[in-house]
A and B are shown apart, each in its own frame.
Chain A
Amino acid sequence: MNQNFVRTAMLPPELPPVSQRGVVKWMRENLFSSVLNGVLTVLAVLVIYLIVSSVAPWLWHSVWNAGSEAECRAIVEAKFGPGATGACWAVIHERWNQFMFGLYPNDLYWRPTLAAVLLLVALAPVLFLSLPRQLLWVTILFPAIAFYLLWGGTVWAPVAAMLGFVVMGFAYRLLLPLVGVTVAGSLGFVAACLWWLFLSGYVSDALASVLPLALRPVDSDTFGGFLLAIVIGVTAISFSLPLGILLALGRQSNMPIVKTLCVGFIEFIRGVPLITLLFSATLLLGYFLPPETNFSTILKVIILVTFFAAAYLAEVIRGGLAALPRGQYEAADALGLDYWRAQRLIIMPQALKISIPGIVSTFIGLFKDTTLVTFVGLFDPLRGVTTFVRADPDWKAIYWEPYIFVGAIFFVICFGMSRYSMYLERKLKTDNH
């Protein structure tokens, strides 16, 4: 009699014990793995609860359409009972144009809007390398178009200014085989300066008298809100990067005089607060320039912010240069490349790649710093416009909403920049681990 028992079918696997699966396991591992962790979790949940419980009803009771703060309050109390508080976003709705354009003439809002759309088109090929390269023409022409749209006046002034760059490129090409990169570059720059100083005015006047293509001129004092922040931010960002690279190269250079000048400039700019520099621009530039010169404040501010960002960028890029192994420089020398070719083909692509996070955070800092122009009398979105709006008796009692709105837009732009830098880093990563 064979009593052997052989199991022929597998038992179905048991589920792990309750404490070892699902939400419970996740919570045990992630939230309550130790006493300290448990305490932290409870504290964090408490903080979240406090924030949400105080902010959520206020947000829930939002009012989007009203003529004044008192009306907002009346609507909230009518809807949610007496004593209820609610966010009054109506102020943003009512004063949207001031937040966006400042005091720019009402009937011309299409111009900054068009410029903003073109800005996106111009930025796209720079940011995303997979887009067709022909779009770069928009990028190259964008400064002139944007200037023409925003400031108005005759179209020939920006065209003549752009021709200066053509002059520079032409002189550089012509001189390059004769005298080398450095001298040809400087002479090209001198030629462009001569063009801008002495010729471009006549050329644009002559062209304007033949074919007057003019938009209504707009005074730069009317610029404000995010229009101002973006004009300053974009201009300063695009000029500060090349300047920063030159300063970094100057600081690494083995020519002692060039090096000393670069170090002095960088350390001076980095050693003083931006506000003092902005004040210097408005108060002191009058002393340092010939008595008859007259700049608009916005231009002074753009120049100063550019210098400021360039000094910080120079330090970031210097870090990238220092991080490159010595062998890269030696390899470039061994290939027989001259200084500029070595920089352009071997050193800079690698150094800039290493410094992307630093460069982008400098840009973010620069964009945030555009709010400081309020202290030299410009109409920035954060303090300038908000103070202006709150000066109206209808909106006097409002404080959180404008700040939250402006802060949210800054957050979106700056957070977008930092995410883009992470994307770029991943995309350019060439190592294999």
Chain B
Amino acid sequence: MATTTEVPNESFRLSMLIYDTRYRAMTIQVVVLILFAMALAWLYGNVSANLAVKGKQFDYTFLGSRAGYDITQALIPYTNDSNHFQALLVGLVNTLVLAFFGCILATIVGVTVGVLRLSRNWVVARLMSIYVEIFRNIPLLLWILFIFVPLTELTQPPSAFKLTPEMEAAGQLPAASMVLDHSVAFTNRGTYIPYPVLDRSVPAIPGLPVNTTFLAILLVLAGSFFVNARIVMSARAVQEATGLRPTTWWKSLAVLFGPIIALMVALGFHLDYPLPPTGFNFKGGMVVPHPFLALLIALTLYTGAFIAENVRAGILAINRGQTEAAYALGLRPNRTMNLVILPQALRVIIPPLISQYLNLTKNTSLGIAVSYMDLRGTLGGVTLNQTGRELECMLLMMAIYLTISLTISTLMNIYNRSVRLKER
């Protein structure tokens, strides 16, 4: 508050700390700071008193000791001989993998549904509205359980897929059968899906501690994208000079897909299909554990409904005049969408989209309902219960979640800033 009137030459009185707006803000802040410091000191005192009563110490050395429990879904090397820190990493990777695939799938679902909900097609629009309203108004936990319970309780054991020679001779069929042209099997142990395999690998370069095959694939992809960017740039230059845009789509397709397909063929890429068991279990393929699948589906559908609303709101936020202006310029409907509506709508859509991604990431912690071994399952679950170190485990877990959230929001905010309307 600006008080720039002539300040009378009066001496400072103590009451001015409360009555004078120049000093009042300062007084309040000092009081708040003192209260805050007192509260911190009080909490610290309580914590040390309670730790002393329980005979515990605040330290993280337990992270180095043997974990001693198994994790079914371990994407990085882990055995029950590994230590608690490695268990934490396995959990963290599980959280991040789930969040990553969840965000991608939810975006696809959300954008599709959001656009379809605006379609003039009555049936489709109504269907999408029903989907969005149902998923937005029912707790996520229900969707997770709703998908998980039948997945575990209504599926057959792998042995039910077995077809013995006697059964074949008698013309009998196995009790359960695979779906999608014999490539996917829902069993009570998990879902078996085909697994991509490479027959050959790029010879390792001595002294280079990375997987050369993986490196080769990355290099080829990066090269393709780089060349494609050059093609598009040169096309733009031609368009700006002559007004005519050269046809580039076939060049782009060839550059983007040709090299990687050639590499894949050279490396002998094929899918390893799961084969029905002759003994107790499927051979080949890979198994997706039920907790992961149920969480992925539930998170995708739930968050997708929210993203659909954001997308719809973003498109509706663009003034009708923009479409009309684009038509008046002679743009066709799909170019209007791509060149006029979407770039503007994206600015409206992205901030809420970021918070949906954050919500999805945080909601992966609901994996507790289906015993998914995410960060909360390992560090905040088994490790916490085994070591009895509630304070250390919970604080570390919150710090990790906080770091993930702040990182995602920072990255997305940088992107958001780059697409924001540049006002001058």
A182 interface neighbour in B28, B358, B394, B406, Cβ under 8 Å: B28
Q: Given the known A-B contacts A257-B29, A410-B137, are A267 and B391 also in contact in the complex, defined by CB atoms under 8 Å? A: no
The answer to whether B29 and A276 have CB atoms under 8 Å apart is: no
Residue with the greatest number of chain A CB neighbours at <10 A, chosen from B138, B368, B401: B138
Given A37-B121, A40-B121, answer yes or no on A287-B47 (Cβ-Cβ < 8 Å). yes
Classify chain B's interface size.
35 or more
**Interface flag for A140 (CB, 8 Å):** no
Q: Is the CB of A30 within 8 A of B394?
A: no
Contact B145 A383 (CB under 8 A): yes
A287 B46 Cβ-Cβ under 8 A: yes
Q: Which residue of B lies closest to A45 (CB)?
A: B123
Closest A residue, CB atoms, query B25:
A255
Which of A31, A268, A414 is close to B137, meaning CB atoms less than 8 Å apart? A414
**B397 at the A interface (CB under 8 A):** yes
> Which residues of B lie under 8 Å from residue A410 when comparing CB positions?
137-139, 142
In the bound complex, CA of A261 to CA of B32 (Å): 9
Q: Known: A257-B33, A261-B36, A276-B380. Contact between A286 and B121, CB under 8 A?
A: no
Residues from chain A with Cβ under 8 Å of B138 in the complex: 368, 407, 410-411, 414
| Contact mask for chain A residues 26-47; partner B; CB cutoff 8 A; 1 contact, 0 none | 0001110100010011001101
Q: In whole angstroms, what is the CA distance A47 to B32 when docked?
A: 59
Q: Is the CB of A272 within 8 A of B401?
A: yes
Given contacts A276-B398, A276-B401, A284-B391, contact A418 B124 (CB under 8 A): no
Please, how many angstroms separate the alpha-carbon atoms of A399 and B145 in the complex?
10
Interface segment, B48-56, B193-201, B218-226, B286-294? B48-56
How many angstroms between the C-alpha atoms of A184 and B120 in the bound complex? 58
Residues in A whose Cβ lies below 8 Å from that of B108: none
A271 to B399, CA, bound (A): 9
Residue A84 is within 8 A (CB to CB) of chain B in the complex? no
Q: Report which of A254, A272, A368 forms a contact with B402, defined as CB distance below 8 A.
A: A272
Q: Is the CB of A41 within 8 A of B121?
A: yes
Across-interface contacts of B33 in A (CB, < 8 A): 257
The answer to whether B46 touches A290, judged by C-beta atoms less than 8 angstroms apart, is yes
A275 at the interface (CB under 8 A from B): yes
**B363 touching A273 by the CB < 8 A rule?**
yes
Please tell me which one of the listed residues A31, A287, A333, A339 contacts residue B50 in the complex, with CB atoms under 8 A apart.
A287
The CB with the most chain B CB atoms within 10 A, among A45, A256, A371, A400, is that of A371
Distance between B413 CB and nearest chain A CB, rounded to angstroms? 13
A276–B376 touching, CB < 8 Å: yes
- Assess the B121–A399 pair: CB atoms within 8 A: no
Q: How many Cβ-Cβ contacts under 8 Å join chain A to chain B?
A: 160
The answer on a CB contact under 8 Å between B119 and A276 is: no
C-alpha gap A47/B123 in the complex (Å): 11
B-contact 0/1 string along A174-194, CB 8 Å cutoff = 000001101100000000000
The reply on B246 being an interface residue by CB < 8 A is: no
Q: Specify which of B33, B136, B150, B363 lies most central, judged by the most chain A CB atoms within 10 Å of its CB.
A: B136
Q: In whole angstroms, what is the CA distance A411 to B149 when docked?
A: 20
Query: Which residues of A lie under 8 Å from residue B365 when comparing CB positions?
Result: 273, 275-276
Name the CB-closest residue of A to B361: A273
Find out whether the CB atom of B43 lies under 8 angstroms from the CB atom of A288: yes
Closest B-chain residue to A293, C-beta based? B46
Q: Does B169 contact A (CB under 8 A)?
A: no
Quick one: which of A367-425 are within 8 Å of B by CB? 368-369, 371-372, 374-375, 382-383, 386, 399-400, 403, 406-407, 410-411, 414-415, 418
Which 10 pairs show the lowest CB-CB distances between chains A and B?
A414-B137, A271-B405, A273-B365, A273-B362, A368-B139, A271-B402, A283-B390, A257-B29, A30-B122, A371-B139
Given contacts A44-B127, A273-B362, A276-B394, 18 further A-B contacts (CB under 8 A): A40-B121, A40-B124, A45-B123, A182-B24, A255-B29, A272-B402, A275-B366, A276-B398, A287-B51, A287-B390, A288-B43, A291-B49, A368-B140, A382-B141, A383-B141, A399-B153, A407-B139, A410-B138
Residues of A with Cβ closer than 8 Å to B? 29-31, 33, 37, 40-41, 44-45, 47-48, 179-180, 182-183, 254-258, 261, 267-268, 270-276, 279-280, 283-284, 286-291, 333, 339, 364, 368-369, 371-372, 374-375, 382-383, 386, 399-400, 403, 406-407, 410-411, 414-415, 418
Q: List 23 A-B contacts (CB under 8 A).
A: A33-B121, A37-B121, A40-B119, A40-B121, A256-B29, A257-B32, A270-B358, A273-B401, A276-B365, A276-B398, A279-B380, A284-B391, A288-B47, A291-B50, A368-B138, A368-B139, A371-B142, A372-B366, A399-B149, A410-B137, A411-B134, A415-B137, A418-B137
Chain B residues packing against A (C-beta within 8 Å)? 1, 18-19, 24-25, 28-29, 32-33, 36, 43, 46-47, 49-51, 53, 116, 119-124, 127, 133-134, 136-142, 145-146, 149-150, 153, 358, 362-366, 368-369, 376, 380, 384, 390-391, 394, 397-398, 401-402, 405-406
